[in-house]
Structure 1
C-alpha cells in the first residue's frame, strides 16, 4: 500500500519514479486494473466488445512505446519504473474518467442544459492533467528537458490513444 501511495503522489507532481522500485506482482496488478478500468470507460462510451479490443490495443501500444523509447535512449533498465509510474497515474485518471462518465449519465437523465460543456471541460482537464503527469514522469526519471518531456508525453498520448482509435475506425 505504501508503494501505491508513493506512485499516486506522482499524480500531484511529487516523488521521483527513479526512487520507486515495483515488484513484478505490483506491475501486473497495475496492468489488470488498467485493462478493467479502461474496459469500463470504453463500455460506457461504445460497444463493450469494441471497447475491450481498443483497451487491449492501447495496452500493447503503451508497453511497446515505453520499451522502444527506452531502447532508443539506452535506458532500458528503467522499464519497470517508467511503465508502472505511467500506468498507475493513468489508472488514477481513468478512475476519474469513470466518475466523469457517471456524472455525464446523471446529467443526461436530468436533462441538464450544460451537460455537454461540463463533459467536454472535464475531458479536456483529464487529458491535460494526464499529459502533464506523463511529462513530469519523463522529466524526473529520464532527465528530459521540459520541452522534450512535453513533446514526448504528447507523442505518447497520440501513440497510445490515437492509433488504437484510428484502428478501431477502420
Structure 2
C-alpha cells in the first residue's frame, strides 16, 4: 500500500521520481501494471490479441523515449527510478480511464464522459511533465512540452503501425 501511496503522491505532485526506490523488481511490477491496464483499455472493444501487441508497442516506445531523453540530458543514472515512476503513474491514471471508456462504448452520447477523459488526459500530461522535470532538472512546462511531443509522435506511430484512423 505504501508504494501505491508513493505513486499517488507523484500523481498529485507531492513527490518525484527520485522518491521511487531504485529496484529492478519494482520496475517489473510497474511495467506489469502498465501492461495489464493498457491491454484492458485497448481490449475494451474485444480484440485482446491486438490489444496485447499494441500495449507492448506502446510500452517499448515509452521506454525508448525515456532512454533517449535521459541520454540526451546526460541523466541515464536516473533511468530506473524515472521509468518506474512513469509506468506506475501511467497505470494508475489509465486505470481511472477504464470505466469512463467502457461507459463511452455503451453510451457514446454521454458528453460529460468526454470532458472527464479530457481532464484525465491533461492530468496525465502534467504528471509526465512533472516526472520529466525532476528527472532532467528542467522547468515544469518544458517537461510538459516533452510529454506533449511524445504523445503526438507516439500517437502518429501507433496510427501507422496499427492502421488506425480518427
**TM-score w.r.t. length of structure 1:** 0.86
SS of the residue aligned with 1:21? coil
Distance 1:12 1:6 in 2: 10
- Consecutive unaligned residues of structure 2, counting only runs of 5 or more, are none
| 134, 154, 160: which one aligns with 1:166 | 160
- Structure 1 moving runs of 4+ over 4 Å: none
Aligned to 2:123: 129
Distance 1:28 1:160 in 2: 22
**TM-score w.r.t. length of structure 2:** 0.88
Aligned to 1:111: none
Equivalent residue pairs, number: 164
SS of the residue aligned with 1:3? helix
Distance 1:167 1:31 in 2: 22
* Structure ranking higher in helix proportion: 1
How far did residue 132 of structure 1 move?
0.6
Q: Structure 2 vs 1, CA of residues 22 and 2 (structure 1 numbering), >3 Å: closer, same or farther?
A: farther
- Consecutive unaligned residues of structure 1, counting only runs of 5 or more, are 109-113
What RMSD over aligned residues (CA atoms) do the two structures have, in Å?
1.9
1:56 matches 2:53 = no
Q: Structure 2 vs 1, CA of residues 126 and 142 (structure 1 numbering), >3 Å: closer, same or farther?
A: same
